[in-house]
């Protein structure tokens, strides 16, 4: 156990020592924030003003930016977990596994060091984004969701970090060069916001596209965070307007369905747990094969 923890510490130090890598892993949520601050935010605000002309502008702003905030946290759980596994890729490329083989470190300990470090880095970076974002929306828009919702959101965030780190651990075993890993990181950072329905609301897309996106864990994970973080702002926005909350909730991805099947919180939690177990096991087996 001590050896595994030492490897975890080593992998985390390698990640945080490379400031460029840290910044790159946060590019996607920062792009989402900039898009809404500079362009898309005003578009969504104007749309809601047209749909709910009696709503207070401050309530509209609070809703839009708490919704964006939940998407930022979800995207961070994906990009940072993947970025943390660059250490595994570089160790394989530069032949460091040969050094590990002649040391008293078992393949299980080595793989555990990569997987645990990936989860811890993803969780730590997501919590930083979570804390900063929550302070900002609370101060600017008076949109504090309550401590129970904060705790629930942190729990969901940890589960997402586990699931997406497990997926990343499997994917990186197919990467053979630093260039390929960089390309993968750029692609993931670019499309994950779209797949999660974070760049534009689901209601702006066709029904077929929405159904496909709703089958993926990215949109499902974003849904987990929207209710606890932006649900209160949605209630204030639609107060006194019967039926408006359901319409807006569907439009902005608070409620997901595939065909006639409603995707509930329990289903999403089960899916993420299944992803963690299956992808984590497959990733660990392929990693072990690489380091043996």
Condensed to tens digits (0 to 9), the pLDDT of residues 142-201 reads 888 999 999 999 999 999 999 999 999 999 999 988 889 989 998 998 899 889 988 888
Give the residue with greater pLDDT, 132 vs 102. Answer: 132
Give the pTM.
Answer: 0.93
If DSSP codes are grouped into helix, strand and coil, which group holds residue 280? helix
Q: CA 131: distance to chain centroid?
A: 15
Q: Is 105 exposed, middle or buried (0-12, 13-18, 19+ CB in 10 A)?
A: middle
Q: Which domain holds residue 83?
A: 2-291
Q: Tens digits of per-residue pLDDT, 240-275?
A: 777 778 888 888 989 898 888 899 999 999 999 999
- Tally the domains of the chain: 1
pLDDT class of 217 with cuts at 50, 70, 90: very high
pLDDT above 90 for 42: no
Q: CA 263: distance to chain centroid?
A: 18
pLDDT at residue 290 in the model:
76
Nearest Cα to Cα of residue 25 among 74, 71, 82: 82
């Amino acid at each position: 156990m001590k050896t595994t923890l030492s490897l975890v510490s080593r992998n985390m130090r390698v990640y945080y020592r490379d400031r460029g890598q840290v910044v790159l892993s946060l590019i996607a949520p920062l792009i989402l924030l900039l898009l809404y601050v500079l362009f898309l935010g005003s578009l969504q605000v104007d749309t809601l003003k047209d749909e709910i002309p009696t709503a207070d502008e401050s309530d509209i702003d609070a809703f839009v930016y708490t919704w964006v905030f939940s998407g930022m946290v979800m995207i961070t759980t994906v990009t940072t977990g993947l970025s943390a596994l660059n250490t595994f890729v570089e160790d394989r490329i530069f032949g460091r596994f040969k050094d590990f083989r002649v040391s008293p470190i078992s393949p299980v300990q080595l793989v555990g060091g990569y997987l645990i470090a990936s989860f811890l880095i993803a969780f730590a970076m997501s919590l930083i984004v979570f804390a900063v974002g929550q302070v900002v929306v609370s101060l600017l828009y008076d949109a504090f969701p309550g401590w129970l919702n904060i705790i629930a959101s942190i729990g969901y965030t940890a589960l997402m970090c586990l699931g997406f780190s497990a997926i990343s651990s499997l994917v990186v075993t197919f990467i053979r060069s630093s260039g390929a890993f960089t390309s993968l990181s750029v692609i993931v950072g670019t499309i994950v916001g779209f797949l999660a329905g974070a760049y534009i609301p689901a209601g702006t897309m066709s029904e077929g596209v929405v159904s496909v996106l709703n089958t993926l864990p990215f949109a499902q994970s974003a849904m987990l965070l929207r209710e606890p973080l932006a649900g209160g702002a949605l209630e204030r926005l639609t107060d006194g307007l019967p039926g408006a909350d359901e319409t807006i909730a569907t439009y902005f991805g608070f409620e997901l369905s595939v065909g006639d099947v409603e995707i509930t919180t329990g289903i999403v939690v089960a899916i993420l747990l299944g992803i963690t177990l299956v992808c984590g096991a497959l990733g660990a087996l392929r990693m072990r094969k690489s380091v043996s």
